Amino acid sequence: MSNLLNDAAGCASLLTLAEDVLKQTQDIVTYLRANNIPEPTFAVDSDPTPESAEYSALQSSLTASLEDLQRLVEGPRKFLRSVCLLGLELTTFQIALDFDFFTIVAPGQEISVSELAKKAGLDADRTRRTVNMLMTHRFFQESRPGWISHSSSSVVLFQDPEIRAAVHYW
């Protein structure tokens, strides 16, 4: 929880939280620029975020404020629904990992969903639904209907077998 929601009344406004998010985002951009680090993007060739203690503190604070803002905007019912669906989202990753989606798709190239299904040995419908769910979390991207390629998030699972194994362990 961000410090804004930990005030005496526990009642930060949406606008106050949004302003806090803006300020913290500006602090991160200032840090990145001061350290000559490019801003992260969803592009497949985006540089990884820094692993310094200072960046980690900035990131943690911003993430807490973003989560607070999201929870206030969504309300408790939508939040609880999303928590209940987490198992389905984890299952999506398990399917993609079990059938090697992240290694079948070559970085910098697109593949049709039907070709991915064929190479993975999975039916086209389940492949499409799995890829669609992954794309909602910015894992893979669809440049044209029926064709996917890696995003900056999914390419990590192609490049790093240790991270892939850790995610698969869930």
Percent of the chain with pLDDT over 70: 94
Q: What's the whole-model pTM score? A: 0.65
Structure tokens belonging to residue 4: 């804004």
pLDDT for the residue numbered 44: 84
pLDDT for the residue numbered 4: 52
How many Cβ atoms are within 10 Å of 121's Cβ, its own excluded?
9
pLDDT tens track for 121-163: 999 999 999 999 999 999 999 989 999 999 999 999 999 999 9
Q: CA-based angle 90:46:169, to the nearest 5? A: 25
pLDDT for the residue numbered 1: 39
Count of alpha carbons within 13 Å of 102, Cβ hemisphere only?
Answer: 27
Q: Which CATH architecture has domain 86-169?
A: Orthogonal Bundle (1.10)
Main-chain phi, psi angles of 112, to 5 degrees: -75, 150
d(CA 155, CA 43) in angstroms, rounded, equals 10
Domain ranges of the chain: 3-83, 86-169
pLDDT at 13 exceeding the cut of 70: yes
Closest CA to 168 of 120, 97, 90: 97
